[in-house]
């Protein structure tokens, strides 16, 4: 047998905390062969990203490798001098991190940052380097790569920023690529495009990959072997398909059971009959037009066009589609964050485009958002109690004492202990932060909650808990939901009605059963076929 490309033996990682040393990785051992794809799965805090960071020696300042060995091409990385590590990172071991906004420099163009990676490792300079960077942008599916080269990260969509990170990770053709949740923020068709691209490139160059993901179906589809981590330990490992179909460890069984799929049983109540008075939201022929900066005078772009749908009281209506399809722009118009260029939006009988002042403020109380990233939507300086009470302060509801009582009531509603009230967001897990975001959205007792990718960044166990919470709240409070998502399996579980958007228009509508078992449009069939582990005929 040939020696493995990467050999990890009894790896231990310790973080120094005010409460004392904390061992986050406990004796993990595995190999990766040249050209092999190995997936590491587990919930938040399981240690999977810490293992990945250890390989590149990129642990946080208070973290250290406290035991074990990491050998790459026969070299011991735990003892490698920093100057040699700098040469190894990028050229030998590439990295695609999860959060593009934290990993792209906002003051440099995207092209310049890719060019920098090429220059550091002697892979291209000047005009030749620019041409190579443009090729990389095109390779990962970014349209108009010549123009995009000179744009800044904030001018890219979230999906395009992630693609730019993938281009940077592959720029120097590394022998090992570490991809840490590389597609968690992408819709299924872009996800498939990106992963197909990575697969083609790694296959052609013999590059191995470690795929960090919370998506078990994705792991089974893309990896030859899967490693399951739980509380810092490697609890199960084996061939991907076998592990997914016949898990042995209790934790792996929980992960498999919690993973949503198109055959998962819906968890929402069956819809009852609705009459004309049951309509909470009516969207009629709505469009949103933008003037194009730097284009010819009068040039414009329609992000949304001729969109119509209703949301009955106590029901969940989902909008699905690729990035750029217009689904988030539609949500922003309902929230009053964008103004419709045409058409009408009526909430509880009120045409929101005609309301001003206190009347508009009163209607806005009835519609509250929960966004994808609670760490970005919660002020890091505010305690949890202050964040939840903020809407009450803005609308001048109650005094300090009554707001505190309301905060404790809301924490109880979202199944969080009142002891977290004085904590700061960074002291909570991702799932806890999302529960806080939901509690804040409920503070004003709205009738409609707009959930924009509210569970897409969560691992499957936390995701299942949040979905159950949303259903319980709908059942107990009579809430209506507009559920924006690129995860069709989740939409199948939680929605009563589904609208499929493409290029700013609704192209198909129906119940989940109609959409997911008998789609009428080719575009819908393409979305379904792109779901990991799914073959749609």
Return d(Cα 326, Cα 398) in angstroms, integer: 38
Where do the domains of the chain lie? 6-92+175-258, 104-173, 276-366+446-529
| Residue 33 reports pLDDT greater than 70 | yes
Res 406: pLDDT: 95
Return d(Cα 352, Cα 364) in angstroms, integer: 9
Interval 426-465: pLDDT, tens = 888 777 888 899 999 999 999 999 999 888 777 778 888 8
Q: Which tokens in the block code for residue 507? A: 């192209």
Closest CA to 25 of 1, 2, 3, 54: 54
Return d(Cα 243, Cα 257) in angstroms, integer: 13
Average pLDDT over every residue of 73-83: 92
Its sign, for the CA torsion 242, 248, 253, 255, is negative
How does residue 290 score in pLDDT terms, banded at 50, 70 and 90?
confident
How does residue 109 score in pLDDT terms, banded at 50, 70 and 90?
very high
Return d(Cα 251, Cα 228) in angstroms, integer: 9
Interval 310-356: pLDDT, tens = 999 999 999 998 877 889 899 999 988 888 999 999 998 888 888 78
Res 537: pLDDT: 37
Interval 357-396: pLDDT, tens = 888 888 888 999 998 777 778 898 999 999 999 999 988 8
Residues contacting residue 455 through CB under 8 Å, at least 6 positions apart: 434, 463, 466, 467, 485, 487, 490
433 close to 375: Cβ distance less than 8 angstroms: yes
pTM: 0.76
| Residue 153 reports pLDDT greater than 60 | yes
525 close to 502: Cβ distance less than 8 angstroms: no
Q: Which residues, listed in sequence order, are joined to residue 497 by a DSSP beta bridge?
A: 317
**Sheet containing strand 233-239, strands side by side:** 93-96, 176-180, 208-213, 37-41, 225-230, 233-239
Percentage of residues in the chain having pLDDT higher than 70? 94
DSSP type of residue 86: H
129 close to 119: Cβ distance less than 8 angstroms: yes
Fold classified for 276-366+446-529:
Rossmann fold (3.40.50)
DSSP 108-125: S-HHHHHHHHHHHTTS--
Antiparallel, parallel or unpaired: β 233-239 and 225-230:
antiparallel
Q: H or E segment at 161? A: helix 158-170
Q: Check residues 305 and 325 and name the one with the higher pLDDT.
A: 305
| Residue ranges of E strands in 51-175 | 63-72, 75-76, 93-96
114 close to 106: Cβ distance less than 8 angstroms: no
**Sheet containing strand 480-485, strands side by side:** 367-370, 448-452, 480-485, 316-320, 497-502, 505-510
Cα 238 versus chain centre, distance: 27
Res 261: pLDDT: 67
Res 176: pLDDT: 94
Its sign, for the CA torsion 459, 460, 461, 465, is positive
Task: Let me know how many helices (H) and strands (E) the chain has, helices first.
Answer: 21, 20
3-state helix, strand, coil in the chain (%, to 5): 40, 25, 35
Q: H or E segment at 13? A: strand 6-17
416 close to 439: Cβ distance less than 8 angstroms: yes
Provide the Cα torsion 464, 270, 315, 317; round to 10°: 70
Interval 225-248: pLDDT, tens = 999 999 899 999 999 888 888 899
Q: Please report where in the chains the tokens 């109650």 appear, as a residue.
A: 398
The yes-or-no answer to whether 6-92+175-258 and 276-366+446-529 have a common fold is: yes
Return d(Cα 322, Cα 503) in angstroms, integer: 9
Interval 478-536: pLDDT, tens = 999 999 987 888 898 899 999 999 989 999 999 999 998 899 999 998 888 877 765 43
The SS3 of residue 98 is coil
Range of lowest pLDDT (179-188, 256-265, 424-433): 256-265
Return d(Cα 235, Cα 217) in angstroms, integer: 19
Distances in Å between the alpha carbon of 61 and those of 111, 226, 276, 516?
29, 29, 60, 47
Q: Which residues, listed in sequence order, are joined to residue 509 by a DSSP beta bridge?
A: 499
User: Across the chain, what does the average pLDDT equal?
Assistant: 87
Homologous superfamily assigned to 6-92+175-258: P-loop containing nucleotide triphosphate hydrolases (3.40.50.300)
Res 196: pLDDT: 83
């Amino acid at each position: 047998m040939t020696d493995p490309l990467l050999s990890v033996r009894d790896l231990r990682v310790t973080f120094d905390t005010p409460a004392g040393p904390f061992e986050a990785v406990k004796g993990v051992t595995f190999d990766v062969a040249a050209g092999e794809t190995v997936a590491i799965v587990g919930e938040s805090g399981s240690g999977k990203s810490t293992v990945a960071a250890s390989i590149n020696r990129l642990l946080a300042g208070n973290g250290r490798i406290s035991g074990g060995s990491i050998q790459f091409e026969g070299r011991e990385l735990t003892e490698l001098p920093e100057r040699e590590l700098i040469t190894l990172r990028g050229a030998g071991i590439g990295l695609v991190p999860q959060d593009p906004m934290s990993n792209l420099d906002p003051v440099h163009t995207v092209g310049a940052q890719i060019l920098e990676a090429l220059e550091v490792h002697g892979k291209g300079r000047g005009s030749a380097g620019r041409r190579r960077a443009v090729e990389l942008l095109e390779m990962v599916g970014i349209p108009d790569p010549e123009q995009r080269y000179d744009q800044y990260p904030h001018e890219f969509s979230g999906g395009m920023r992630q693609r730019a990170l993938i281009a940077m990770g592959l720029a120097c053709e590394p022998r090992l690529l570490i991809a840490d949740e590389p597609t968690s923020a992408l819709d299924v068709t872009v996800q498939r495009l990106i992963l197909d691209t990575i697969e083609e490139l790694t296959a052609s160059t013999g590059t191995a990959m470690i795929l960090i993901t919370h998506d078990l179906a994705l792991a089974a589809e893309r990896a030859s072997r899967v490693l399951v981590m739980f509380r810092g330990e490697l609890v199960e490992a084996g061939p991907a398909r076998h592990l997914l179909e016949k898990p042995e460890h209790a934790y792996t069984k929980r992960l498999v059971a919690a993973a949503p799929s198109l055959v998962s049983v819906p968890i929402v109540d069956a819809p009852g009959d609705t009459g004309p008075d049951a309509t909470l939201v009516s969207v009629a022929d709505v469009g949103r037009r933008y003037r194009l900066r730097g284009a010819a005078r009068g040039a414009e772009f329609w992000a949304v066009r001729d969109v119509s749908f209703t949301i009955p009281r106590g029901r969940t209506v989902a909008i699905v589609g690729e990035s750029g399809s217009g689904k988030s722009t539609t949500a922003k118009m309902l929230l009053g964050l964008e103004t419709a260029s045409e058409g009408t939006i009526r909430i509880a009988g009120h045409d929101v485009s005609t309301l001003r002042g206190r009347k508009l403020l009163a209607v806005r109380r009835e519609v509250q958002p929960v966004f994808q990233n609670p760490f970005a939507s919660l002020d890091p300086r505010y305690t949890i109690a202050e964040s939840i009470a903020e809407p009450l302060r803005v609308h001048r509801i109650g005094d300090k004492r009554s707001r505190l009582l309301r905060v404790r009531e809301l924490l109880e509603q979202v199944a969080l202990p009142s002891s977290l009230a004085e904590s700061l967001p960074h002291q909570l897990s991702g799932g806890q932060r999302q529960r806080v975001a939901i509690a804040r959205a409920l503070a004003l007792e709205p009738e409609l909650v707009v959930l924009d990718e509210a569970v897409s960044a969560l691992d499957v166990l936390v995701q299942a808990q949040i979905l159950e919470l949303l259903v319980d709240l709908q059942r107990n409070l009579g809430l209506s939901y507009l559920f924006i998502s690129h995860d069709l399996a989740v939409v199948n579980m939680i929605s009563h009605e589904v609208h499929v958007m493409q290029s700013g228009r609704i192209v198909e509508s129906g119940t989940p059963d109609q959409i997911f078992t008998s789609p009428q449009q080719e575009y819908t069939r393409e979305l379904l076929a792109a779901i990991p582990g799914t073959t749609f005929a």
